């Protein structure tokens, strides 16, 4: 695995950069520790953190293995779709797993984001009541979408 670092304007260094394109970088902050990998979505020009992606190395049948969030003031710029595409193109650097995204059927914005990033419908799963996103049993099912991990194979 090749490590690269993100240099801020003041000379500070942020930790591991999984991937970057002309607009955004996926950066694991130096303060991050845990069983999952958290990557901040950083604008290259301004170094602003606009959201994050959390990748779980263990797949949960109901929740999948990835979460993404764009902070409210940055929504509407397709950052989630761009970050998810960038992540899925580079996930083979950290895992052999495919990406499983669990989305409530009424969350059309997240469905559009996932499909726009290359995800395809995989299956419907039952959500256990104990899960937060079931909202205490209000939502019984979620749709799971998948993005295949190319495992280093050129696209």
Span 49-103, pLDDT tens digits:
999 999 998 899 999 999 999 999 999 999 999 999 999 999 998 899 999 999 9
Tokens found for residue 117: 């990033």
1 pLDDT exceeds 70? no
Sketch out the chain's domains with CATH numbers: 5-147 (3.40.630.30)
Per-residue pLDDT of 27-56, as tens digits, reads 988 766 667 899 999 999 999 999 999 999
Distance of CA 101 to the CA centre of its chain: 9
* Cβ contact 17:27 at 8 Å: yes
Among the ranges given (14-18, 41-45, 110-114, 140-144), the one the predictor scored with the smallest mean pLDDT: 14-18
DSSP 84-142: HHHHHHHGGGT-SPPEEEEE-TT-HHHHHHHHHTT-EEEEEEEPPTTSGGGTTTT--EE
Share of the chain above pLDDT 90, in %: 66
Among the ranges given (9-18, 69-78, 146-155), the one the predictor scored with the smallest mean pLDDT: 9-18
Tokens found for residue 12: 């500070």
Residue 99 CB-half CA count within 13 A:
29
pTM exceeding 0.75? yes
Per-residue pLDDT of 117-129, as tens digits, reads 999 999 999 998 8
pLDDT number for residue 2:
36
9 pLDDT exceeds 70? no
pLDDT number for residue 35:
76
pLDDT number for residue 152:
55
Distance CA 153, CA 149 (A): 9
């Amino acid at each position: 695995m090749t490590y690269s670092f993100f240099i801020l304007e003041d000379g500070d260094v942020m930790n591991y950069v999984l991937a970057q394109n002309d607009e955004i970088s996926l950066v694991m902050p130096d303060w991050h520790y845990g069983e999952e990998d958290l990557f901040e979505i950083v604008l290259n020009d301004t170094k602003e953190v606009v959201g994050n992606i959390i990748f779980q190395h263990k797949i949960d049948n109901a929740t999948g293995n990835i979460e993404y969030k764009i902070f409210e003031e940055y929504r509407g710029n397709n950052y989630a779709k761009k970050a998810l595409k960038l992540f899925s193109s580079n996930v083979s650097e950290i895992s052999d797993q495919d990406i499983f995204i669990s989305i409530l059927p009424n969350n059309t914005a997240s469905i559009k984001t996932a499909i726009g990033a290359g995800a395809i419908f995989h299956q419907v799963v039952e959500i256990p009541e104990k899960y937060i996103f079931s909202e205490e049993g209000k939502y019984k099912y979620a749709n799971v979408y998948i993005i295949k991990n190319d495992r280093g194979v050129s696209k």
